[in-house]
Amino acid sequence: MKRKRIYIFIFSLSTINFIVGQEIQNEEIDSLDVKEKFINIDKLSIGVDLYKPIYSSTNNDDLSYELITSLRIFKDFSIAAEIGSLDKYIEDENVNFTSTGEYIKFGFDYNLFNNWSGMDNSIYLGMRFATSSFNNKIENYTVRNPDSYWSNNVLNGFETINHSNQNANWFEFLVGIKVETIKNIYFGISLRLNRLISNSSPNNFTNLYIPGFNKVTDDNSWGSGFNYTLTYSLPLKFNKKAPIK
């Protein structure tokens, strides 16, 4: 339900831009002035995170991935979104658990880098709103006990249960770079600072990890993350012909 609303929101963003673009097009502007327009949808980027699939396959987890997309709508301003799916076995201090789930992040990137003519690299700041729906399944844990005559490891039964249908929302503040290495193909990295807004609290456990947000620390709503990106940019060339007579 929540996710459907998010999709609608993203879709509505793109339609608004489309409508605005149409209005401008209807005005009688010389075709040479096209580049001067304020709203200028000229580039669609699609890509993947390189780190998550490699990490998940080297750690015998199910495939984790993150798809990245952005649409440049002003000269230095793009709307951006990431959709990801994650499966990760986490060995924590006392509890080992598997975190699985999906997340979606959407927001914007703002480029700070002044390119030379013909180049298209960027150093950008951005912000995202993110939401995740996930499960944390406790695989095994150690009972805190000053006496170790009996084993305190719990391998099954008791609290080794799957805490399913968990939800969390957060904001991300990010800084990143993107470099065009081959024509239209970009490598990049972004560092993210996450501020948790809400996190569901399962019965007799807390969500120590949220897919997309990463590690959650006690009494602290800040987290961090990063991604290595490989993106392909699709130049959007609109056929702007001379005004209709």
Site for other proteins, rule CB under 8 A: 92-95, 112, 123, 125, 141-147, 149-155, 157-159, 173, 175, 191, 193, 204-206, 208, 215, 217-218, 220, 222, 224
Q: How far is the CB of 101 from other proteins (least distance, A)?
A: 19
Q: For residue 120, give Cα distances in angstroms to 59, 160, 172, 181.
A: 36, 51, 25, 10
**What is the per-residue burial (b if ≥16 Cβ within 10 Å, else e) of 135-158?**
bbebbebeeeeeeeeeeeebeeee
Q: How far is the CB of 221 from other proteins (least distance, A)?
A: 12
Contact 223, 196 (CB under 8 A): yes
DSSP 20-67: HHHHHHHS---GGGGGG-S----EEEEEEESHHHHHHHHTTPPP-EEE
Q: Of the two residues 171 and 173, which places its CB atom closer to other proteins in the complex? A: 173
Residue 15 vs 151, nearer CB to other proteins: 151
Residue number, 12 or 221, with CB nearest to other proteins: 221
- Written as one letter, the residue type at 159 is E
- If the CB atoms of residues 112 and 185 are measured against other proteins, the closer one turns out to be 112
Q: Tokens 């879709």 appear where? A: 11
Q: How far is the CB of 78 from other proteins (least distance, A)?
A: 16
First to last CA, the chain: 48
43's torsion region: left (phi>0), alpha (psi -120 to 50) or beta? beta
Smallest gap from Cβ 90 to other proteins, in A, equals: 11
Tell me the C-alpha distance between 97 and 40, whole Å: 47
Please identify, using beta-carbon distances, which residue of 142 and 184 lies nearer to other proteins.
Answer: 142
**CA 237/CA 145 separation, integer angstroms:** 67
User: What minimum distance in Å lies between the beta carbon of 228 and other proteins?
Assistant: 16
